[in-house]
């Protein structure tokens, strides 16, 4: 009886080891990878209401001081995924006098957009943009607050006074300038990329013909893939473009095989894959 029990236990252990090996293989095969194509060059900036040049000037002055005293580089060093493309680390802005005043400044962010803005493990808003804004407000003597916007409605919420700026990896668009919004000097060079599962066999955007691609609603990627966008010809080859209200949901759709690729900002893709 003991021999039979021992044999059964040995068989069960062997099966478990085989299963673990199979799971490891699946995990390795199904990891996310970035297709090595840059599909949309753009720059990030900060948006303010049309009548609020004064606030923009004050924030830019504070940022110039943060760059000059090394605080900007110190904060940037925490975020490996973006540090190489931060404009002010290569071309410092003109140093301006920081005006001191007393007010409450409400920063509008996408709360699910790491590494620029997100909720950390302590339930606090964090990220590169959040840290820079808080440091700028400290210099200005402003009370700092954060407001999580609905990204598709971000400009509506800005106009309504729910926040004083939109500052969260926001692409500078000509349409925003034409609408009268005050836009800061650009601070980050960005490109759009496609993320797929390594096991998919997809290696170029051409391989996505007849496939389903997800993109976050209201982003520059969404604009690029629209019928009037610069990548309309590419998106016309997809069987469908699925829009989600956050990039995290886009990746969840990819994980569940509901879509074949995600179209997203490079630093966001890199951050997600590196921390997955």
- Average pLDDT of the chain is 90
**Across 42-49, average pLDDT:** 97
State residue 3's pLDDT score: 39
Contact 205, 263 (CB under 8 A): no
pLDDT at residue 222 in the model: 93
Sorting pLDDT into bands at 50, 70 and 90, what band is 275? Answer: confident
196 vs 3: which has the higher pLDDT: 196
pLDDT (tens digit, 9 = 90+) per residue, 6-21? 433 344 434 444 444 4
pLDDT 10s digits, 172-186 = 999 999 999 999 999
Contacts of 37 by beta carbon, 8 Å cutoff, 6+ apart: 193, 194, 204, 205
pLDDT, residue 276, reads 75
| Mean pLDDT (whole number) for 163-172 | 96
Could you give all domains of the chain from N- to C-terminal order, each with its CATH number? 31-39+191-275 (3.40.190.10), 43-189 (3.40.190)
Q: Which residues contact 228 (CB under 8 A, 6 or more apart)?
A: none
- Report the pLDDT value the prediction gives residue 1, as an integer from 0 to 100: 41
Q: Is the pLDDT of residue 118 over 90?
A: yes
Region 247-264: mean pLDDT is 96
Give the pLDDT confidence of 121-164 residue by residue, as tens digits: 999 999 999 999 999 999 999 999 999 999 999 999 999 999 99
Residues contacting 115, CB < 8 A, separation 6+: 79, 81, 82, 127, 128, 267, 268, 271
Write down the pLDDT at residue 40. 84
pLDDT at position 25 is 43
pLDDT recorded at residue 36: 85
pLDDT at 27 over 70: no
pTM across the whole model: 0.81
Using pLDDT thresholds of 50, 70 and 90, give the confidence band for residue 189: very high
Residues 6+ apart with CB under 8 A from 260: 196, 200, 202, 208, 211, 212, 213, 254
Q: What single string gives the DSSP state of each residue in the chain? A: -HHHHHHHHHHHHHHHHHHHHHHHHHHHHT-EEE-S----EEEEEEEE-TT-HHHHHHHHHHHHHHHHTTHHHHHHTT-TTTGGGBGGGTSPPPP-PPPP---EEEEEE-TEETTTEEE-TTS-EESHHHHHHHHHHHHHTPEEEEEE--GGGHHHHHHTTS-SEEEEEEEP-HHHHHTT-EEPPP-EEEEEEEEEEGGG---SGGGGTT-EEEEETTSHHHHHHSTTSTTHHHHTTSSEEEEESSHHHHHHHHHTTS-SEEEEEHHHHHHHHHH-
Closest CA to 129 of 86, 99, 164: 86
pLDDT bin (cut points 50, 70, 90) of residue 85 is very high
Average pLDDT over residues 203-207: 96
Pairing of strands 117-119, 240-244: unpaired
| pLDDT (0 to 100) of residue 38 | 82
């Amino acid at each position: 009886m003991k021999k039979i029990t021992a044999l059964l236990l040995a068989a069960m252990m062997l099966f478990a080891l085989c299963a673990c090996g199979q799971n490891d293989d699946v995990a390795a095969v199904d990891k996310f990878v970035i297709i090595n194509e840059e599909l949309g060059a753009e720059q990030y900036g900060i948006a303010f209401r049309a009548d609020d040049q004064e606030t923009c000037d004050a924030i830019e002055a504070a940022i110039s001081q943060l760059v000059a005293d090394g605080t900007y580089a110190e904060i940037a060093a925490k975020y490996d995924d973006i540090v190489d493309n931060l404009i002010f680390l290569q071309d410092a802005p003109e140093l301006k006098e920081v005006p001191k005043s007393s007010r409450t400044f409400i920063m509008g962010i996408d709360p699910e957009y790491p590494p620029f803005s997100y909720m950390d493990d302590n339930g606090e808003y964090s990220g590169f943009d959040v840290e820079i804004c808080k440091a700028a407000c400290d210099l200005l003597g402003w009370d700092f607050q954060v407001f999580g916007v609905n990204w598709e409605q971000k400009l509506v919420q800005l106009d309504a006074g729910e926040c004083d700026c939109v500052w969260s990896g926001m692409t500078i668009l000509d349409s925003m300038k034409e609408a009268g919004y005050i836009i800061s000097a650009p601070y980050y060079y960005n490109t759009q990329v496609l993320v797929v599962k390594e096991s998919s066999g997809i290696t170029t955007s051409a391989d996505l013909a007849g496939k389903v691609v997800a993109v976050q609603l209201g982003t520059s990627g969404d604009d690029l893939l629209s019928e009037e966008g610069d990548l309309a010809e590419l998106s016309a080859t997809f069987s469908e473009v699925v829009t989600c209200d956050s990039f995290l949901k886009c990746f969840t759709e990819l994980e569940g095989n509901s879509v074949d690729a995600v179209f997203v900002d490079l630093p966001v893709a890199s951050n997600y894959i590196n921390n997955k």
